[in-house]
Amino acid sequence: MSPQRKKDSLIWGAILIIIGAIFFLENFHIDVWNYVWKLWPVALIVWGALKLVAGLREGRDRSAGSDGLPPRQG
């Protein structure tokens, strides 16, 4: 399994667990949706930050070359 596919599987697994936990708590009359409604923008902020960090790492790795060392001058 490729690293990207494994990462995608982990993300979708976490999303399904969170949604399942919300519905589970709702069965016990714990109003989770109120908190979710107030805090959902935090998920967008975290997602954006993770994408930014991944892009910066990818750019750094690409400029470093395939062996991980800085490119040779001259």
Res. 67: pLDDT tops 60? no
Q: What is the pLDDT of residue 47?
A: 86
Residue 74, pLDDT score: 56
pLDDT at 60 over 90: no
pLDDT more than 70, % of the chain:
82
The CA-atom distances, in angstroms, between 5 and each of 11, 16, 54, 55, 56 are 10, 16, 15, 17, 20
Q: What is the mean pLDDT of the chain?
A: 82
Residue with the larger pLDDT of the pair 5 and 17: 17
User: With contact defined as beta carbons under 8 Å apart, do 64 and 71 qualify?
Assistant: yes
**Could you tell me if 71 and 65 are in contact, meaning their C-beta atoms sit under 8 angstroms apart?**
yes
Residue 22: count of CB within 10 angstroms of its CB: 14
Predicted TM-score (pTM) of the model is 0.54
